[in-house]
Chain A
Amino acid sequence: MIEALQFDFMRNALMAGALVSVVCGIIGTFVVINRIVFISGGIAHAAYGGIGLGYFLKFNPVLGAIVFSVASALGMGAVQRKTRQRADTIIGVMWAIGMALGIIFVDLTEGYKADLMSYLFGSILTVPSSDLLIMLVLDVIVVALVMLFYKELLAISFDETFATVENVPVDAIYMILLCMIAFTVVMLMRVVGLIMVIALLTMPAAISGQFVKDMKKVMVLASILGVIFTTTGLWLSYLLNLTSGATIILVSGAAYLLSLAVKPLMRRAHSESTG
């Protein structure tokens, strides 16, 4: 691992992993406690439309993905809030339309489509410095928004009715949350690819939620876990010459399953020591 650090691409990859882990821990916690994994999946896949558009119109596909994921986040959020029935169907449809648009745009684009697969399956090892900058900016935006609206975000997550009665602008806060999910999804896309974004978004938060019972602590622990998972995954990918997105996900998945197994044991040990 140490000699791997000589390479620029490896340093960039570790940096990207760390940048992503911070937002992942924070936003993943909101996704898990609000039970909006499905809508986050929709946002992630609809982002592919933006990638296709980026190829077609020859601009940075990451920017296209940002536009598409934010637009789909707002659209899906509006659908979910306004129509009480079959919101999941409509979200599923938007999810598929986004992907289909992306595929068509890519079809229409002439010439060689370099690293198209990297958006689907991630390629943290080819993250250029320019993308690191975009990630840093998104990191700052997300952290700032969460700090500014923390008490409202916590309130709508815990008890939306009460927040409404207290005149919290519930719909606006929810939309801000969905936009932050969109930003996060775009960042994660570089690391593990659109297909596996949801896993990395939710697993660190789900694991840490089992062991700490305070929202801020859940976020911090989830971020730390994210760094550990991406670094370990990268190392395995380097060592065994495997796709990095997949190794990162498998490391996280193994840790998640382990945490599920360990939790009951801990509980038993705890009750034995106290009772």
Chain B
Amino acid sequence: MRRAETTDMPREVISVQHLWAGYNGEPVLEDVNLSVRELDFIGLIGPNGGGKTTLLKVLLGLLPPTQGQARIMGKSIKEGRQYVGYVPQAVEFDRDFPISVWDVARMGRLGHCRLLQRYTAEDDEIVTEALRSVDMLDLCERPIGALSGGQRQRVYVARALATKPQILLLDEPMASVDTQVSVSFYDLLSRLNKHVTILMISHDISAISSYVKTVGCLNRRLFYHGDKQITPDMLEAAYQCPIDLIAHGVPHRVFPEHIVEEVRS
């Protein structure tokens, strides 16, 4: 099955090769390799401090790698990141910030609009379409601080979509949102995934496993086999302490009952 796919493989949109990165000389990512293909939906899980956010920072060009390289759409990060729509974590937010939903979403057009240039009617159309696709067009005049956490994340997705991205990068998008809301949010992502590649980091294993196409574990090193199943050895390697993790309520369906056939074949 897998062999057959290689002949007609979708093109590579993100390529990370032997990547090392860290802060103040302390490596956080060690020899990370990752190849993301068009229309993949990859969920990266891993413990706090395991380098999930660091990998995202490298992919967004916010942190230069110390070794190795990362490329987006075959280009350097600084050039390639124009194809990326970034959805930040849902924390630390100034509710009093005087800005409307519309103005937030329109920031997605910044990269397409030069300095000293005003937004055009075409920009407005794209923003309208982006807000409609996340069901937030009706609330576009609301101040962003008046929204719920789930609604706000939808606006951030709209802002990312307004960049007309090839790839969506999401950083713990549902970190502070209750389950019901996150289910509809992940439904939205599945819908968007028909047209756009998605790379999402999270520590919410249960949610990730039911929506994404493939899962990787990141703890300094990346354990990724292009598979949906989280294998016990991946978890063990990533978390070092799988028993602890199960105790924290990972649903059993995450662990395939037929690991042997699926993974070893």
Say which size band chain A's interface belongs to: 20 to 34
B100 near A151 with CB under 8 A, answer: no
Complex interface residues of chain A between 145 and 166 (CB less than 8 A to chain B): 148-149, 151-152, 154-155, 157-159, 161-166
A168 at the interface (CB under 8 A from B): yes
Which of B97, B98, B111, B143 has the most A CB atoms < 10 Å from its CB?
B98
Given contacts A161-B62, A169-B115, contact A152 B98 (CB under 8 A): no
Shortest Cβ distance from B79 into A: residue: A167
A217 near B98 with CB under 8 A, answer: yes
CB < 8 Å A-B pair total:
79
B96 at the interface (CB under 8 A from A): yes
B residues near A214, Cβ cutoff 8 Å: 98-100, 103, 143
Given contacts A152-B115, A162-B86, contact A213 B110 (CB under 8 A): no
A165 near B145 with CB under 8 A, answer: no
A156 to B136, CA, bound (A): 23
Shortest distance in angstroms between B102's beta carbon and chain A's nearest beta carbon?
Answer: 10
A168 near B98 with CB under 8 A, answer: no
A residues near B163, Cβ cutoff 8 Å: 166
A117 at the interface (CB under 8 A from B): no
A212 to B88, CA, bound (A): 26
Shortest distance in angstroms between A105's beta carbon and chain B's nearest beta carbon?
Answer: 39
B220 at the interface (CB under 8 A from A): no
B residues near A155, Cβ cutoff 8 Å: 107, 110
A163 near B110 with CB under 8 A, answer: yes
Taking a contact as CB atoms closer than 8 A, the residue among B78, B94, B99 that contacts A154 in the complex is B99
Taking a contact as CB atoms closer than 8 A, the residue among B84, B96, B113, B145 that contacts A151 in the complex is B113
Given contacts A149-B115, A152-B115, A213-B145, contact A166 B98 (CB under 8 A): no
Complex interface residues of chain B between 107 and 142 (CB less than 8 A to chain A): 107-108, 110-111, 113, 115-116, 118-119
Q: Is the interface of A mostly helix, strand, loop or mixed?
A: helix
B81 at the interface (CB under 8 A from A): yes
A residues near B88, Cβ cutoff 8 Å: 159, 161-162
B159 at the interface (CB under 8 A from A): yes
B81 near A151 with CB under 8 A, answer: no
Complex interface residues of chain A between 68 and 109 (CB less than 8 A to chain B): none
Which of B82, B108, B115 has the most A CB atoms < 10 Å from its CB?
B115
Shortest distance in angstroms between A139's beta carbon and chain B's nearest beta carbon?
Answer: 20
B104 at the interface (CB under 8 A from A): yes
Shortest distance in angstroms between B42's beta carbon and chain A's nearest beta carbon?
Answer: 19
Shortest Cβ distance from B78 into A: residue: A167
B94 near A33 with CB under 8 A, answer: yes
B60 at the interface (CB under 8 A from A): yes
A33 to B98, CA, bound (A): 8
B residues near A167, Cβ cutoff 8 Å: 78, 81-82, 110-111
A234 at the interface (CB under 8 A from B): no
Complex interface residues of chain A between 36 and 92 (CB less than 8 A to chain B): none
A166 to B107, CA, bound (A): 9
A39 to B119, CA, bound (A): 31
Shortest Cβ distance from B82 into A: residue: A167
- Supply 7 further A-B pairs (C-beta < 8 A) apart from A151-B119, A158-B97: A33-B97, A33-B98, A161-B88, A162-B88, A167-B82, A215-B103, A217-B98
A/B interface sample: 22 pairs, CB < 8 A: A151-B107, A151-B113, A152-B115, A154-B103, A155-B110, A158-B99, A161-B60, A161-B86, A162-B86, A162-B159, A163-B107, A164-B60, A165-B61, A165-B84, A166-B111, A167-B82, A168-B111, A209-B98, A212-B98, A213-B99, A213-B100, A213-B145
B contact set with A: CB distance below 8 Å = 60-62, 78, 81-82, 84, 86, 88, 94, 96-100, 103-104, 107-108, 110-111, 113, 115-116, 118-119, 143, 145-146, 159, 163
